[in-house]
């Protein structure tokens, strides 16, 4: 295909995507209305959203739609669905995969949602508010309608494009992308983009991620009446003291900076806390808190966990309490995707084609599906235009971002 023809088709496809703006917005609203919360957070999984996506893709006319379900006894359907929708291109040698996730985090405190209720989305000032709007439904809709534009115009992409809607991303991906990789679905020369992170002007391409650990810290003391604390051992107090000592130790020992990453340091954040006793006048005999750690690749995660265990042992000897450290999730950083990898160069060109300049390449602290592709030896990038509203109350997706990112996906499919 010569350059002049590519230019004409690019302009035509971009114009068609603009015409689809209202339909894209309505599809985003329809998908937000379907909660897809994993069983770890008391949800029933992604089945309803998966069924809706199949319905949408069938109506568009994708060439093939497949389901690859991971068994999971914890949800009513006993399965975690993963949907793949293919649109055939002129060549199948290097397929483009756009991987988005169906599952979302819980809404959190309802009173903090002041613009819209989490699953009753509202459109205001060019934004769609609702849980899961930006994380990850916005890019999901972008990827679908990028290909719908091709169908509407009767144009075939240069490459076969596969949209992959996965389960379980928010809780580790064991039933999602990890399961699919084990099934041998992907090839070494596939071109993989995971639109699950980015910046507000769409100029940041992520090629590297930190290691990550999620810890459950369970402190066991002895319950007692609060008026007679000496007869018990306050697990809440010991747990707080241990958490503060752990926080200080981690930030002191793991303070190196690497400019590739944003933020450039390892992060360690106390997060969730389980309920302990039901009355104010009871000294807790058990207390549980959690830690989220994002660790620069230069550090050995197992060595770090050893230091945490050693500190716990010190506190046990000092206080008489029992401190149990459970690793809820652990991911070791893989080799970054090369800045000269084909998908990086293609994406950079596509971003520039939509009028954005000064594209930056770097690493993040968050964890995405891209890490599992890199571990399997498949270069992958993370990119989207986002205000980073993920997991926050009043989460929103900008309609302009959704439409403009669809143009980038379309140009990727069109590149020879």
Do 54 and 40 lie in a common domain? Answer: yes
**C-alpha to C-alpha distance for 254 and 265, rounded to whole angstroms:** 8
Give 125's contacts (C-beta < 8 A, 6+ positions apart): none
Please give the DSSP secondary-structure letter assigned to residue 134: I
**94 noted as active-site residue:** no
Residues 67-92, mean pLDDT to the nearest whole number: 96
Is 46 annotated as catalytic?
no
Claim to verify: residue 317 and residue 379 sit in the same structural domain: no
Instruction: Report d(CA 161, CA 289) in Å as an integer.
Output: 43
**What value does the mean pLDDT take over residues 318-332?**
95
CATH assignment of the domain containing 408? 3.40.630.10
Which pLDDT band holds residue 366 (cuts at 50, 70, 90)?
confident
Q: What is the CATH number of the domain that holds 225?
A: 3.30.70.360
- 337 and 190, same structural domain? yes
Q: What does the H/E/C string look like for 71-103?
A: ECCCCCCCEECCEEEEECCCEEEEEEEEEEECC
Q: What angle do CA 396, 107, 382 make, to 5 degrees?
A: 55
Element (H, E) at 244: helix 235-253
Q: Annotate 339-385 with DSSP letters as a single string.
A: TTSHHHHHHHHHHHHTT--S-EEEEESS--THHHHHHTT--EEE--B
pLDDT digits (tens, 9 = 90+) for 205-253: 999 999 999 999 999 999 999 999 999 999 999 999 999 999 999 999 9
Confidence of residue 4 (pLDDT cuts 50, 70, 90): very low
pLDDT, position 5: 45
* Shared-domain flag, residues 193 and 293: no
The tens digit of pLDDT for each residue in 266-282 reads 999 999 999 999 999 99
Per-residue confidence (pLDDT) for residue 2, from 0 to 100 = 47
* Residues 6+ away with beta carbon under 8 Å from 213: 291, 292, 293, 295, 301, 304, 305, 327, 329, 330, 331
The phi-psi region of residue 282 (left if phi > 0; otherwise alpha if psi is between -120 and 50; otherwise beta) is: beta
pLDDT tens digits, 288-307: 999 999 999 999 999 999 99
- Residues 205 and 105 reside in one and the same domain: yes
CA 93 to chain centre: 28
Active-site annotation holder among 16, 135, 168, 169: 169
Number of domains in the chain: 2
Asked if residue 350 and residue 302 are part of one domain, the reply reads no
Instruction: Look at residue 1 and tell me whether its pLDDT is greater than 50.
Output: no
- Answer for the pair 217, 242: CB distance below 8 angstroms, yes or no: yes
Q: Which one of 308, 331, 354 terminates a domain?
A: 331
Q: Which tens digits make up the pLDDT trace of 338-363?
A: 999 999 999 999 999 999 999 999 99
Do residues 301 and 332 touch, judged by C-beta distance below 8 A?
yes
- What 3-state class would DSSP assign to 216? strand
* Residue 367 pLDDT: 83
pLDDT-derived band at 7 (thresholds 50, 70, 90) equals: low
Supply angle C-alpha 81, 102, 390, rounded to 5. 155
Q: What pLDDT shows up at residue 273?
A: 95
Same domain, 184 and 230: no
Least confident of 6-10, 134-138, 309-313: 6-10
At which of 331, 364, 385 does a domain end?
331
pLDDT confidence tier of residue 127, bands split at 50, 70 and 90: very high
190: buried, middle or exposed (CB in 10 Å: 19+, 13-18, 0-12)? buried
Residues 72 and 108 in one domain: yes
DSSP assignment of 263-316: SSB-EEEEEEE----SSTTEE-SEEEEEEEEEE-TTS-HHHHHHHHHHHHHHHH
Same domain, 273 and 340: no
Residues 199 and 272 in one domain: no
Query: Rounded mean pLDDT of the chain?
Result: 95
Residue 185: pLDDT band (50, 70, 90) is: very high
What is the residue range of 252's domain?
A: 216-331
Catalytic residue among 103, 134, 135, 196: 103
Q: Check residue 91 and give its pLDDT.
A: 83
Dihedral sign (CA 228, 231, 235, 240): positive
* The pLDDT value given to residue 8: 55
Query: Helix H segments across 61-212?
Result: 138-153, 177-182
Do both 23 and 102 map to the same domain? yes
Q: What is the pLDDT of residues 85-105, one digit of tens each?
A: 999 999 888 899 999 999 999
Residue 260: helix, strand or coil by DSSP?
coil
Does residue 177 sit in the same domain as residue 248?
Answer: no
In the chain, % of residues over pLDDT 90: 94
């Amino acid at each position: 295909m010569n350059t002049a023809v590519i230019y004409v088709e690019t302009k035509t496809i971009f114009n068609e995507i603009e015409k689809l703006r209202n339909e894209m917005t309505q599809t985003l609203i329809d998908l937000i209305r379907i909660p897809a919360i994993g069983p770890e957070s008391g949800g029933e999984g992604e089945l309803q959203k998966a069924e809706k996506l199949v319905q949408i893709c069938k109506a568009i006319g994708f060439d093939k739609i497949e389901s690859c379900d991971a068994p999971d006894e914890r949800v009513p359907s006993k399965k975690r669905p993963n949907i793949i929708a293919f649109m055939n291109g002129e060549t199948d040698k290097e397929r483009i995969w756009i991987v988005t996730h169906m599952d979302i985090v819980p809404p959190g405190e309802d009173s903090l949602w002041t613009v819209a209720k989490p699953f009753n989305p509202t459109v205001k000032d060019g934004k769609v508010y609702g849980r899961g709007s930006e994380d990850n439904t916005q890019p999901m809709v972008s990827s679908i309608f990028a290909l719908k534009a091709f169908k509407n115009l009767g144009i075939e992409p240069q490459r076969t494009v596969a949209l992959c809607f996965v389960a379980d991303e928010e809780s580790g991906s064991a039933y999602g992308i990890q399961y699919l990789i084990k099934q041998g679905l992907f090839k070494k020369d596939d071109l993989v983009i995971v639109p699950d992170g980015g910046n507000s002007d769409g100029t940041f391409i992520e090629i590297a991620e930190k290691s990550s650990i999620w810890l459950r810290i369970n402190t066991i003391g002895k319950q007692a009446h609060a008026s007679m604390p000496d007869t018990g051992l306050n697990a809440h107090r010991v747990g707080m003291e241990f958490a503060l000592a752990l926080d200080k130790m981690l930030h002191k020992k793991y303070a190196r900076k690497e400019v590739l990453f944003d933020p450039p340091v390892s992060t360690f954040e106390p997060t969730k806390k389980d309920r302990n006793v039901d009355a104010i006048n009871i000294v807790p005999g058990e207390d549980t808190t959690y830690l989220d750690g994002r660790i620069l690749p230069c550090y050995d995660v197992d060595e770090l966990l050893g230091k945490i265990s050693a500190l716990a042992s010190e506190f046990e000897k000092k206080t008489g309490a029992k401190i149990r450290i459970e690793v809820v999730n652990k991911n070791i950083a893989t080799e970054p995707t090369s800045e000269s990898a084909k998908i990086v160069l293609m994406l950079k060109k596509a971003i520039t084609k939509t009028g954005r300049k000064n594209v930056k390449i770097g690493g993040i602290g968050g964890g995405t599906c891209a890490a599992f592709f890199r571990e399997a030896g498949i270069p992958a990038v993370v990119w989207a235009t986002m205000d980073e509203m993920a997991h926050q109350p009043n989460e929103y997706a900008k309609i302009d971002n959704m439409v403009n990112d669809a143009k980038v996906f379309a140009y990727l499919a069109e590149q020879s």
